[in-house]
Structure 1
Amino acid sequence: MKVDDFDYQLPEGLIAQHPVEPRDHARLMVLHRDSGTLEHRRFYELPRYLREGDVLVVNESKVFPARLLGRRPSGGRVELLLLRRLEGDLWEALARPGRRVRPGERLYFGGGELTCEVVERRKDGKRVVKFSGDLEAIRRFGQVPLPPYIRRPPVPEDEERYQTVYAKVEGSVAAPTAGLHFTEELLSKLREEGVKIVPVVLHVGPGTFRPVEGELSDHSMEQEYYEVTDKAAEVINEARGRGGRVVAVGTTSVRVLETVTDGEGRVRPGSGWTELFIYPPYRFKAVDVLITNFHLPRSTLLMLVAAFAGRRRVLEAYGEAVRLGYRFYSYGDAMLII
């Protein structure tokens, strides 16, 4: 398959710029894989499709305020997107304007209260920077790293709404957006109905926005850190052994589960780095049901969804979503694929 096989036309006006309020009032398109039948619901109706014994797997990674706006010594503007902490005060980052930010240069943020030195420029264009302030100073001056298709500056509500209600482990530069629709009340209702809720971690990196070029088989995913605890693996394996379904919240949860599940379908606990790229055809080992948002054309996220539900059916569902005015991308509406 080629990248063009995952293209579709999306009116710019359907790209959500703000979240729905309250969270669980987003629209929910339900796609039945066996028949291709579509239903149109609201996210708070999710419990009617899950049942006692199911396991809802959520990614509890938390978005870090990774976007820093500052000045170069010349007075020119500079922007850093912090990707991950390497050790101590050293961070890996993306810089704009990229060509002008050179090793040895000092950058200033918050009127000079926070500074860093550019230590290294790597072959892939990323920088290694060394900060003079502590982590709290970075949090104080950092902004929510909204995706580039949200064409507005961050506002205070984004600090809450661009996080899931269960986010705990800081480390992502983009939200695991399928989880943004859950409220504490909805999670409580699912628990009351016998659905187990199991957290895993995958820290979302900038590669989630990197376009695929050329043949799919030639594309490499950027490594992302994951964690699956002994308890999480035990609950998932027990549920599957009793006939329960694994309901993955978002493509990040899918990639974690498919990374740690062996050929016999057993989830193995552990942590590490995954670069798993899922595209058709792919045999899923661990996931029975998928909750996801509507993704960018030609993206690895759309390819994963197409591998799960079938490319033709997914693109037909996307066409229906466009026709009915669904909202797309991070702050948009959701799909349930069963």
Structure 2
Amino acid sequence: MRVADFDFELPEGAIAQVPAEPRESARLLHVADELADLHVADLPDLLEPRDLLVLNDTAVLPTRFFGSRGEVAVEVTLIRPEGGDAWWGLARPGKRLRVGDWVRLASGLDAQVLDKDPEGPILFRFTTDGAELIRRIKAEGRMPLPPYIRRARGGDLDDHRAYQTVFARHDGSVAAPTASLHLTQALLERIRARGVASEFVTLHVGAGTFLPVKADDTDDHVMHPEWMELRPEAAARIQAHRQAGGRVVAVGSTALRTLETMARPDGTLGHGTVETRLFVTPGYRFGVVDRMLTNFHLPKSTLFMLVCAFAGMERMKRAYAHAAATGYRFFSYGDASLLERNQD
């Protein structure tokens, strides 16, 4: 399909710069045959005991650093580990870094440039490794916010709380599973009180979530790999729920892509640890997910393509036009939508 088919007009000022407070006060657009304007706090009323929530329990690492190479200021965002002491990262100004250069990211946190990818990423090797390196990253780094969220140099310490889900458990993401940012422990308790169970998967969100689709045709776009895990006991419970006639509600595109990656042609659900490159566009046949909670996404992005595949392109274009016209806030810190899967 043409990437241009997934373009839309976004009003100036529609990109949220800060999250809603409290989290569940964000608006929620229920997208079914009709559109309904609600709030995330209304989510429990839209769920039934036959629904099963699937959430991504990844934790965002604060991998953004403002450091130096000698006298030259350097900004580095680490995007993917490569062994115990090395990470791929994006740097500004990246072109001025050479293989062999040393960069100081924080006091005592030094890294040497090992390699440069022609596409932009740079491989850094640190002078510490393993758990100690992760500890230093968590102690010294800033949250790797998307570039459309504007912050003064050094970032905002409030983002360390706001850009993390309340159930984050496994370090590894460089971007938040943003649909889950709306959920609080109190809201989850209300959902449980409705008789709605939940399961967790893990997908470490990679830098590809920030990258635009540069191809003119979706067939020519290459997804970046992302590490994911579906544990055996969770897979068994999700499969049993579906076989009993229940619905699966994916909280966010990462939960959906994890489940659909593990879906087998015979209707069963696999499990394990893999890297996924699943790219969902209209025409994809969903094997697991029936409903989806998600934010409002960038024009011509892989995420907007995914929601068009899930709920129908015309329905989603109508929903996004309504959201833009009625003041919904877009992207990572923006409002949410609950999508019913297109049955055509």
With the shorter chain as reference, the TM-score category is: over 0.9
- Give deviations 1:252-274, integer Å, cap 9, x for gaps: 11111110011122211111100
Matches within 5 A, 1:4-23: 4-23=4-23
- In the other structure, the counterpart of 1:241 is 243
- In the other structure, the counterpart of 2:263 is 261
State whether residues 4 and 216 of structure 2, in contact with CA within 8 Å, keep that contact through their aligned partners in structure 1.
no
Q: Which runs of 5+ in 2 are unaligned?
A: none
Instruction: Give yes or no for the alignment of 1:30 onto 2:27.
Output: no
Instruction: Give yes or no for the alignment of 1:51 onto 2:52.
Output: no
**SS of the residue 1:21 aligns to:** coil
- Give deviations 1:117-140, integer Å, cap 9, x for gaps: 111113432211111243222222
Instruction: Give yes or no for the alignment of 1:176 onto 2:177.
Output: yes
Q: Distance in 2 between matches of 1:265 and 1:150?
A: 40
- Letter matched to residue 247 of structure 1: V
- In the other structure, the counterpart of 1:109 is 105
- Give deviations 1:199-242, integer Å, cap 9, x for gaps: 00111111112211211011110000000001110111111111
- Letter matched to residue 97 of structure 1: P
The alignment's C-alpha RMSD in Å is: 1.1
Matches within 5 A, 1:180-219: 180-212=181-213, 213-219=215-221
- In the other structure, the counterpart of 2:119 is 124
- In the other structure, the counterpart of 1:327 is 329
Q: Distance in 1 between matches of 2:267 and 2:146?
A: 34
**SS of the residue 2:87 aligns to:** strand
Pairwise CA distance, 1:93: 1.4
Q: Distance in 2 between matches of 1:140 and 1:12?
A: 36
**SS of the residue 1:87 aligns to:** coil
State whether residues 119 and 128 of structure 1, in contact with CA within 8 Å, keep that contact through their aligned partners in structure 2.
yes
Q: Distance in 2 between matches of 1:308 and 1:87?
A: 36
Identity %: 47
State whether residues 209 and 299 of structure 1, in contact with CA within 8 Å, keep that contact through their aligned partners in structure 2.
no
Q: Which runs of 5+ in 1 are unaligned?
A: none
Q: Distance in 2 between matches of 1:184 and 1:22?
A: 12
State whether residues 178 and 252 of structure 2, in contact with CA within 8 Å, keep that contact through their aligned partners in structure 1.
yes
Deviates more, 1:135-144 or 1:52-61: 135-144
Q: Distance in 2 between matches of 1:286 and 1:98?
A: 42
Q: Distance in 2 between matches of 1:127 and 1:141?
A: 20
Pairwise CA distance, 1:84: 2.1
* 1:286 pairs with one of 265, 285, 288: 288
Q: Distance in 2 between matches of 1:258 and 1:225?
A: 14
Q: Distance in 1 between matches of 2:251 and 2:334?
A: 15
- In the other structure, the counterpart of 2:149 is 150
- In the other structure, the counterpart of 1:166 is 167
State whether residues 173 and 205 of structure 1, in contact with CA within 8 Å, keep that contact through their aligned partners in structure 2.
yes
Q: TM-score, normalised by structure 1?
A: 0.96
Matches within 5 A, 1:299-314: 299-314=301-316
Q: Distance in 1 between matches of 2:14 and 2:191?
A: 30
Q: Distance in 2 between matches of 1:245 and 1:264?
A: 18
State whether residues 74 and 93 of structure 2, in contact with CA within 8 Å, keep that contact through their aligned partners in structure 1.
yes
Q: Distance in 2 between matches of 1:49 and 1:79?
A: 44
- Letter matched to residue 256 of structure 1: T
Deviates more, 1:150-159 or 1:50-59: 150-159
Pairwise CA distance, 1:49: 1.2
Deviates more, 1:293-302 or 1:122-131: 122-131
* 1:42 pairs with one of 39, 44, 52: 39
- In the other structure, the counterpart of 1:336 is 338
- Give deviations 1:281-320, integer Å, cap 9, x for gaps: 1111010001000000000000000000111110111010
- In the other structure, the counterpart of 2:87 is 91
**SS of the residue 1:12 aligns to:** coil
- Letter matched to residue 31 of structure 1: V
Q: Distance in 2 between matches of 1:192 and 1:225?
A: 33
Instruction: Give yes or no for the alignment of 1:137 onto 2:139.
Output: no
Instruction: Give yes or no for the alignment of 1:80 onto 2:82.
Output: no
Instruction: Give yes or no for the alignment of 1:70 onto 2:72.
Output: no
Count of matched residue positions in the alignment of Structure 1 and Structure 2: 333
Pairwise CA distance, 1:186: 1.0
